[in-house]
Structure 1
Amino acid sequence: MIDQRGLLKPFRPEFFANPYAAYARLREDSPVCRVELPDGTPAWLVLREADVRSALADTRLSVDRSCSRNSGYKGFSLPPALDANLLNLDGDTHIRLRRLVMRAFTYRRIGDMRNDVIKAAERLSDKLDSSSTCDLVTDFATPLPLQVIGDMFDVPEEHRRPFAAWVGTMFALERPQQVRDSIDNIHQFLLRLVAERRREPGQDLLSALIAARDDHDRLTEDELVSLAFLLLSAGVQNVQHLISNGIHTLLQHPEQLAELRSEPSLLTSAVEELMRFAHPNQMSIRRFPTEPVQLGGVTIPAGDTVMLCVASANRDPARYPDPDTFDIRREDKSHLALGHGVHFCLGASLARMETEATIGTLLRRFPNLSYAAPVEELQWRSTFRSRSLKALPLRLK
C-alpha cells in the first residue's frame, strides 16, 4: 500500500504477526524504500544485509538528532541530561565517552558477574519450582535483568521495588504520562545514587564509572547519569525479551532443543543463533545523513531519517544460507543484532552472558518445559522497533 506522498505503508496490523514475511517481500522488491512510520512520519527503510552492514559503519550517517533537518522525526523524548548518551553522539565526543566507559565495563567485570546472574536465575527458578505453570515474561524474564542491573549499580534493597516499578512503566508507550513520570523518577534516583557513590565509592559499576579516567579526563555528572540510564534501559528491556524470545524459539524447534539439551556445550553457539534469528530489536538506532548518501543504488538526501532493519539483514539469503531455518550449529555468527562499527553495542558481552546463563539455568531446572497455551494464541507487542511477546504461558513439569 502506498499513500499520497508515495510512501510505502508496511506497518499495518498484519505486519506484527509475522514481520519477516514483509521484510522478505520488501528486500526483494524495494530493498531501500521510503516508508511511513507508525507515527505518520516518513523514513527510508534499508533491508539488505550488505547495505545495512555498510550503513552501520558509515560515519556520514549520524545518530545526532540535530542532523534530522526537516525529516519530521519525533522519536523518544528524554530530559536533556539523559539525552546526551552514546546512542545520540558521534565523532570525538562518542569516542571519548566510549573510551572512559570501557575502562570500567571490562570483560573481567562481566565474567565476575556471571555467578551473580546464575544465582539470580536460580532464585527465580526456586520461586517457579512450586508451580506447575508460569508466565515466563512476568515471572522470570522481566525480574531477572532488573535484579542484575540492581546488583550492578548496588541499588539499596529498600529502593529496589519502586526502582523496578519505574523501569517497568518506562516502556509502557501506550501510557505516555506514566512513561514521563517514570523517566523523571529514574533520573532523580540516579542523580541521588551518583552523589552517594561519589561520597562513598563501592565495588559496583557506577563507582567504577565515577573512578574511570583517561589522563585528566573523566565523566561529568550528566554523562554519568545518562550512561547509567542507557545501561539501565537497554540492559533491562533487551535481555528481558531475549530470554522470552529465546525460549519460545527453542520450543518452536524441538529437535534443536533436544540437541542442545543433549550437548550443553552448544549453548554459546545457540545464543548467537538466537540473536540472529529472534533478537527483539528490529531496527538499529535511527540515522541521519550529514550529506547525500547512496545505499543500494538509491541516493538518500541529507537530514532524512534512515531506519536500518537489522532483523531483515539477519534473514537475508544473500548472506545466510537458508536464513529462515533456526540452526544452533550455524557457522556464520557475524550477525548484526548487536550492531556494527563504532556504535557496536557497549553491553554486548553482558547481554550474551546474561542470556546464556539464564536460558541455561531454565533448561537445566525444567527439563519438561512446554507451552501452557496454544501457540497461535500468543500475542506480540505492536511496535515496529521491537518484536516481543506480551506473555509466554509455560508448563514447568
Structure 2
Amino acid sequence: MTVAAPIDHPAFFGDQHGYYERVREDGPGPRLVRNPHGLEYWLVTRHADAKAVLLDARFSKEPRRAARALSEAGYPDQGPGSFFLPLVNSDPPDHTRLRALVSGAFTPRRVAELGPRVEEITHQLLDEMDRLHVPGTESAPVDLMAALAFPLPVLVISELIGVPHRSRAALIGWATRMLTVSGAAGGGPGERTRRLGLWFGSLVGARRPGVRVERAPEEQPDLLSALIAAHHQEDRLSDEELVSLLVLLLVAGHETTTGMLGNAVDALLRHPDQLAGLRAEPELLPGAVEELLRYETSLARTTLRVAREDVEVAGAVIPAGAIVSVSLAAANRDPDVCPEPGRLDITRERAPHLSFGHGIHFCLGAPLARLQVRTALGALLTRYPDLALADPGQPQHWRPVGDMRGLLTLPVRLTEAPGAAA
C-alpha cells in the first residue's frame, strides 16, 4: 500500500508529526511510501516494530547493497561517498571492528572529563551573545541556532578529535553552511562528504608520526592520535576508513546535537508552563532533556536498510531487496508506549524513546549529546530569566531534510524591554 501524500513533500516539513500519525493510524505494520523523487520504501512507524527492525540482522546497512537497491529503484545518483560512512553504513564484522576503535572516546568517564570543557565553551558562546545587546534595554533578536546551537557541537567534537585550535573557526563556518539552505544546495551529500573527507585527509597528513602536534603535554591523547595509531597497526584501519570515521564523527556529532539543542529550546519556549516548571525546579533538567528528546527528536528517520530476504514485520512482508527506513520521530510518539504523546510534559515518567536508535547501531555519542544539551539548557535558563521567542506567532522554519528534524533559525530575545512585565 502506498501512502497517498508523498513523504518529504514540501508540506511534510511543517506537519511531520501529523503525517506520521496518519501513516500509523492507517493500520498496523510498515507502510510503503514514496518520496518526491519517486523512490518507494517501507516506512516503520510503530515503536515495537521499530525496535524489532533495528535489532534484526536480516536488514542490512552494507553500503554497496544500499547503493544497488537505490540504483535499481531509479533513484538519482548521490555521488561517490554517499554511503561510505562507517558505523552508520556497515554490518558486522566491519561494524564491530570500527565501533571498538572509537568507543573509548565516549565512555562515561571520558564524557564526564569533558564536562568542564563543555561548560566553558558554552559560556564563552553565551558571552559572545551578551555582546549583542545593551544591558537594561530590550535586546535585539538573536538567532540562537547561529550563536549557540551550530558552534557548540563543532567545538566539542573538535576538542574530542583533536582539531588544532587555529582550524576550528573555519570548521565551524564550513559545518554551519552544511546545515543551511544554501549549504544544502551546494552539491549533493556525496559531494559534501567528499570535500569534508579531503579536509580531514590533510589534517591526518599533518598528524602522521614525526610531525609536531599542537597539543599541550598535560592534555589527554585525542581521538585522532588513537585512530592514526590504529591505522598503522596491520588490518586495523584503512586510509579510507580513517578519514570516513572522522567525517562521521563531525557530521553525526554536529548535525544531531545542533538539532537536539535547537528543538529543545524551541519546545520549551513554546510551552511556557513547562519552562516555568523547569525554572522552578532545575533538578528536573535531566528528565526534562529526555522528554524533550522524545517530543522532538533531531533524527527523524534512520538511514536506509535493505532486506536480505523476505521479512515479515507486524503482518507485512517486506520482500528481499526492498528498502526500509525506521521513523524514530513516529516511534517516539506511539500512544502504545507513551500516553498523550503529543503533549510535552517534563515531569513525565520517562517514556522509552528511540532518539539515539537501538541495537548495534545505537548512537555512540549519546552521552556526549545529552551532556551538551543539559549544559546549554541549564546555562540559558540561569543566565536569561526573560528568554523568549522573538515572535511567538511566527511558524518554525525547519530544514528541508527528511531524515533530520532541525530548525534553520531560532530568533529569541534575551531580555524584556524595561517595564514590559508591569
Query: Per the alignment, in what secondary structure is the counterpart of residue 124 of structure 2?
Result: helix
Match of 1:21 among 10, 18, 22: 18
Tell me, in whole angstroms, the C-alpha distance in 1 between the residues paired with 2:77 and 2:252: 16
Tell me, in whole angstroms, the C-alpha distance in 1 between the residues paired with 2:270 and 2:244: 38
Tell me, in whole angstroms, the C-alpha distance in 1 between the residues paired with 2:21 and 2:150: 31
Tell me, in whole angstroms, the C-alpha distance in 1 between the residues paired with 2:130 and 2:103: 38
Give 1:241 deviation, angstroms: 1.2
Give 1:76 deviation, angstroms: 4.9
Give 1:37 deviation, angstroms: 1.4
Any conservation in 1 of the 2:78–2:189 contact (CA below 8 Å)? no
Query: Per the alignment, in what secondary structure is the counterpart of residue 59 of structure 1?
Result: coil
Tell me, in whole angstroms, the C-alpha distance in 2 between the residues paired with 1:356 and 1:298: 40
Give 1:371 deviation, angstroms: 1.1
Q: Name the residue aligned to 2:152.
A: 144
In structure 2, relative to structure 1, the CA distance for the partners of 1:229 and 1:73 (3 Å cut) is same
Q: Name the residue aligned to 1:376.
A: 394
Give 1:181 deviation, angstroms: 5.9
Match of 1:195 among 181, 205, 216: 205
Tell me, in whole angstroms, the C-alpha distance in 1 between the residues paired with 2:277 and 2:392: 24
Give 1:216 deviation, angstroms: 6.9
Q: For 1:350, give the aligned amino acid.
A: L
Give 1:39 deviation, angstroms: 2.4
Q: Name the residue aligned to 2:317.
A: 299
Q: Name the residue aligned to 2:170.
A: 162
Q: Name the residue aligned to 2:222.
A: 204
Query: Per the alignment, in what secondary structure is the counterpart of residue 88 of structure 1?
Result: coil
Q: For 1:262, give the aligned amino acid.
A: A
Deviations 1:21-54 (A, max 9, x none): 1111110114421111132211111111111111
Query: Per the alignment, in what secondary structure is the counterpart of residue 375 of structure 1?
Result: coil
Q: Name the residue aligned to 1:225.
A: 243
In structure 2, relative to structure 1, the CA distance for the partners of 1:84 and 1:239 (3 Å cut) is closer
Any conservation in 1 of the 2:201–2:243 contact (CA below 8 Å)? yes
Tell me, in whole angstroms, the C-alpha distance in 2 between the residues paired with 1:178 and 1:54: 31
Any conservation in 2 of the 1:169–1:182 contact (CA below 8 Å)? no
Q: Name the residue aligned to 1:57.
A: 55
Q: Name the residue aligned to 2:98.
A: 97
Which deviates further from its counterpart, 228-237 or 259-268?
Answer: 259-268
Deviations 1:42-90 (A, max 9, x none): 111111111111101111011113334334455854438x815111100
User: What's the % identity of the aligned pairs?
Assistant: 39
Tell me, in whole angstroms, the C-alpha distance in 2 between the residues paired with 1:87 and 1:324: 29
Query: Per the alignment, in what secondary structure is the counterpart of residue 31 of structure 2?
Result: strand
Matches within 5 A, 1:269-308: 269-308=287-326
Tell me, in whole angstroms, the C-alpha distance in 1 between the residues paired with 2:49 and 2:154: 35
Which deviates further from its counterpart, 95-104 or 274-283?
Answer: 95-104
User: Once superposed, what is the RMSD of the aligned Cα atoms?
Assistant: 2.5
In structure 2, relative to structure 1, the CA distance for the partners of 1:66 and 1:177 (3 Å cut) is closer
Which deviates further from its counterpart, 107-116 or 195-204?
Answer: 195-204
Deviations 1:218-274 (A, max 9, x none): 333322211111010011111111111100101112111111112212111111111
Tell me, in whole angstroms, the C-alpha distance in 1 between the residues paired with 2:304 and 2:189: 21
Any conservation in 1 of the 2:79–2:191 contact (CA below 8 Å)? no
Q: For 1:79, give the aligned amino acid.
A: G
Which deviates further from its counterpart, 172-181 or 46-55?
Answer: 172-181
Q: For 2:206, give the aligned amino acid.
A: E
Pairing 1:44–2:42 present: yes
In structure 2, relative to structure 1, the CA distance for the partners of 1:77 and 1:334 (3 Å cut) is farther
Give 1:217 deviation, angstroms: 5.8
Give 1:334 deviation, angstroms: 2.4
Query: Per the alignment, in what secondary structure is the counterpart of residue 317 of structure 2?
Result: strand
Any conservation in 1 of the 2:208–2:228 contact (CA below 8 Å)? yes
Tell me, in whole angstroms, the C-alpha distance in 2 between the residues paired with 1:210 and 1:111: 24
Any conservation in 2 of the 1:105–1:205 contact (CA below 8 Å)? no
Unaligned runs of 5+ in 2: 134-138, 216-220, 416-422
Q: Name the residue aligned to 2:81.
A: 79
Any conservation in 2 of the 1:8–1:33 contact (CA below 8 Å)? no
Any conservation in 2 of the 1:56–1:340 contact (CA below 8 Å)? yes
Which deviates further from its counterpart, 251-260 or 297-306?
Answer: 251-260
Tell me, in whole angstroms, the C-alpha distance in 2 between the residues paired with 1:103 and 1:39: 40
Query: Per the alignment, in what secondary structure is the counterpart of residue 218 of structure 1?
Result: coil
Match of 1:332 among 344, 350, 375: 350
Q: Name the residue aligned to 2:372.
A: 354
Tell me, in whole angstroms, the C-alpha distance in 2 between the residues paired with 1:84 and 1:236: 15
Deviations 1:146-203 (A, max 9, x none): 2212222232233223322322233456424386665444212211222333325652
Any conservation in 1 of the 2:63–2:89 contact (CA below 8 Å)? yes
